[in-house]
C-alpha cells in the first residue's frame, strides 16, 4: 500500500463526523426491520442484513455497535438499544460452549457497558455493574473450556473441533483476559483452579508460533508475516500437522481477514500487558520475553499487510486468490471492488487498521520511526474506508462499510452481476470494527481517554 507521509489525524475530523451520522442511520434501519427470531444479522444482500446459520458470532457486534454509537455521539437512544438488547438477547452467548467467539460477542456488549460505566459515561449502579461483571467472568471461563493441549502449550480450539486452531481467536482471548482481571478462574474436575490469563497467554503464544510465518523455511510457502487461517494438530499426541483454511483460498496462501485478526489481536494484547501482573503468568514466560514474541509477530504481520495491499490500503480477500494473476499490477494501484476476478474485503481493512494504529501507538517511545509508519498506514486505511466507494451513503442500504466479503469458497456472498466478483455489500463485523476504529481515532483526535476494551477494568493511560 502507499503511505501518505503528510497525512495527519486532523484530516479525519470531517470524515469522522459524517461517519457517525451515517452510522446512526444504519443502526436504526437494522433495529426497525431485522427480525431477531431468524438469528443474528451477518451480512447484507441487496443492502439488507440477513442471517447465516453457521454460528451466531455476530449478534454482539450488532448491539455493541449501538453502544459505540452512544459513546461517540452521546445519543441515549443508542444506549437504550445496546443496553436493552444485551439484557434480553445476549444471555445465551454467555454459556455457549460451541464457539470460540466469546471475546467478540460478550466483550462487545457486556464489556462495553461496564467500560462506559467505568469511564463515567453512564451512571454507576452497583447491581447493574455486578451484572456485567458476572457475565464477563462466566464468558471468559466458558471460552477457556475449549482447550486442546499440545507440545509445549495449548490453544482454544475453533468450532471445527479440538484439532483446529483459528488465527481469528487471538482477539477473542480478551474474554479470558477480562475474566481474569475481574478475579475469576475456571474451576475444573476435582475443583482444579485453572488460570484464565495463563490459558490466554498460552493460546496467543501458540498462534504466534504456528499461525504466523517468519520466513524461516517451515514449508515452501513460508513468507515472513503471512498467516494461515487454520492450523491442524494431531490430538492424540499434540503434534503440529499442517496449515489449512476455512475461508481463505488455501492453507498456503493468506486470507487477509485472518491476517487482520492477527494484527489487531497482537496490537490489543501489547497495549494491556502493563495492566496485568506478570506473576500471574510468569510460570509460562517472562513479560519481556512475551513482549519480544508479540512484537516480532506484530511487525511481521503489519509489514506483510502493507506490502501485499493495494495503494489505498484495502486488500483483496486472499493474497493467493487465483484471479489476481489476471489483474496485472494490482498492488500498485487503488483497490477495485468492481473488478471481474476477485473480491476485495473491506472488513479486513477495518480490523487491520485498528491493529496498525495500536501497534504504532505501542511503539511510540521504543521505535519512533516504525511507530510513525504504522500510524500513518492506519490513517491512510481509515481515510479510504471513511469515503466512497467504501463508506455507504445510500440511506436505504443497511450496511455502513461496503465491499465486505464473508465466505468466498462457499459462495455465500451476493453477486449482483454474474461477470463480476461479489461487491457492494457489508458485514456486521466489518461495520462494528469500523466503528471501533473511528472511536479510537476520535478519542485520539479530541485527546480523550484512550479507547481500549480493558477500560472495563481500568483506563489505559
DSSP string, 47-106: TEEE--TT---SHHHHHHHHHHHHHHH--HHHHHHHHHHHHHHSHHHHT-TT-S-HHHHT
pLDDT (mean) for 251-280: 97
**Is residue 4 predicted with pLDDT exceeding 90?**
no
**Is residue 342 predicted with pLDDT exceeding 90?**
yes
- Whether the CB-CB separation of 43 and 408 falls below 8 Å is answered with no
- Whether the CB-CB separation of 210 and 230 falls below 8 Å is answered with no
Query: DSSP 3-state helix, strand, coil percentages of the chain (rounded to 5)?
Result: 50, 10, 40
Over residues 102-156, the pLDDT tens digits come to: 999 999 999 999 999 999 999 999 999 999 999 999 999 999 999 999 999 999 9
246 alpha carbon, distance to own chain's centre:
17
Confidence of residue 36 (pLDDT cuts 50, 70, 90): confident
Torsion, Cα of 440, 443, 448, 450 (10° steps): 10
State how beta strands 48-50 and 147-150 pair: unpaired
| pTM score of the predicted model | 0.98
For residues 179 and 186, give the distance between their C-alpha atoms in angstroms, rounded to a whole number.
9
pLDDT (mean) for 61-84: 98
Asked whether the bond before 370 is cis by omega within 30 degrees of 0, the reply is no
**Buried b / exposed e across 165-193, counting CB within 10 Å, b at 16+?**
bbbbbbbbbbbbbbbbbbebbbeeeeeee
For residues 94 and 146, give the distance between their C-alpha atoms in angstroms, rounded to a whole number.
14
Grid cell in block for residue 220: 515452501
Calculate the average pLDDT of the chain.
97
- What are the structural domains, with CATH classification, of the chain? 9-456 (1.50.10.10)
Amino acid at each position: 500500500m502507499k503511505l501518505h507521509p503528510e497525512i495527519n489525524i486532523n484530516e479525519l475530523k470531517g470524515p469522522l463526523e459524517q461517519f457517525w451520522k451515517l452510522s446512526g442511520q444504519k443502526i436504526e434501519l437494522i433495529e426497525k426491520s431485522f427480525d431477531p427470531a431468524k438469528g443474528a444479522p451477518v451480512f447484507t444482500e441487496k443492502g439488507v442484513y440477513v442471517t447465516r446459520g453457521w454460528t451466531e458470532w455476530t449478534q454482539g457486534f450488532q448491539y455493541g455497535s449501538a453502544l459505540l454509537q452512544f459513546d461517540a455521539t452521546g445519543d441515549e437512544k443508542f444506549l437504550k438499544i445496546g443496553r436493552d438488547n444485551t439484557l434480553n438477547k445476549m444471555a445465551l452467548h454467555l454459556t455457549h460452549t460451541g464457539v470460540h467467539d466469546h471475546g467478540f460477542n460478550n466483550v462487545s456488549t457486556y464489556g462495553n457497558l461496564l467500560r462506559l460505566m467505568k469511564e463515567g459515561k453512564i451512571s454507576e449502579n452497583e447491581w447493574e455493574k455486578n451484572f456485567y461483571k458476572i457475565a464477563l467472568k462466566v464468558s471468559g471461563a466458558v471460552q477457556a473450556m475449549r482447550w486442546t493441549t499440545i507440545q509445549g502449550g495449548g490453544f482454544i480450539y475453533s468450532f471445527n473441533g479440538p484439532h483446529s486452531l483459528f488465527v481469528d481467536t487471538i482477539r477473542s482471548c480478551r474474554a479470558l483476559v477480562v475474566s481474569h482481571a475481574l478475579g475469576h478462574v475456571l474451576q475444573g474436575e476435582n475443583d482444579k483452579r485453572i488460570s484464565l490469563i495463563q490459558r490466554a497467554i498460552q493460546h496467543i503464544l501458540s498462534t504466534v508460533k504456528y499461525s504466523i510465518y517468519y520466513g524461516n523455511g517451515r514449508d515452501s510457502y513460508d513468507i515472513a508475516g503471512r498467516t494461515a487461517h487454520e492450523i491442524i494438530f494431531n490430538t492424540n499426541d499434540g503434534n503440529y500437522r499442517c496449515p489449512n483454511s476455512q475461508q481463505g483460498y488455501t492453507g498456503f496462501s493468506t486470507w487477509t481477514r485472518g491476517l487482520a485478526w492477527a494484527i489487531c489481536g497482537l496490537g490489543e494484547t501489547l497495549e494491556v500487558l502493563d495492566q496485568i501482573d506478570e506473576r500471574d503468568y510468569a510460570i509460562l514466560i517472562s513479560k519481556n520475553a512475551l513482549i519480544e514474541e508479540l512484537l516480532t509477530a506484530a511487525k511481521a504481520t503489519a509489514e506483510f499487510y502493507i506490502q501485499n495491499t493495494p495503494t489505498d490500503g484495502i486488500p483483496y480477500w486472499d493474497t493467493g486468490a487465483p484471479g489476481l494473476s489476471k489483474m496485472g499490477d494490482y498492488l500498485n494501484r487503488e483497490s477495485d471492488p468492481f473488478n471481474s476476478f476477485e473480491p476485495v474485503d473491506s472488513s479486513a481493512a477495518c480490523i487491520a487498521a485498528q491493529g496498525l494504529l495500536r501497534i504504532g501507538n505501542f511503539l511510540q517511545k521504543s521505535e519512533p520511526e516504525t511507530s510513525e509508519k504504522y500510524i500513518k498506514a492506519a490513517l491512510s486505511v481509515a481515510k479510504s474506508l471513511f469515503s466512497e466507494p467504501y463508506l455507504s451513503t445510500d440511506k436505504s442500504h443497511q450496511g455502513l462499510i461496503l465491499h465486505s466479503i464473508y465466505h468466498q469458497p462457499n459462495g455465500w456472498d451476493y453477486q449482483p452481476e454474474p461477470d463480476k466478483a461479489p461487491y457492494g455489500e457489508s458485514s456486521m463485523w466489518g461495520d462494528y470494527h469500523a466503528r471501533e476504529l473511528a472511536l479510537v481515532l476520535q478519542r485520539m483526535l479530541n485527546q480523550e481517554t484512550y479507547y481500549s476494551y480493558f477500560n472495563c477494568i481500568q483506563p489505559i493511560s
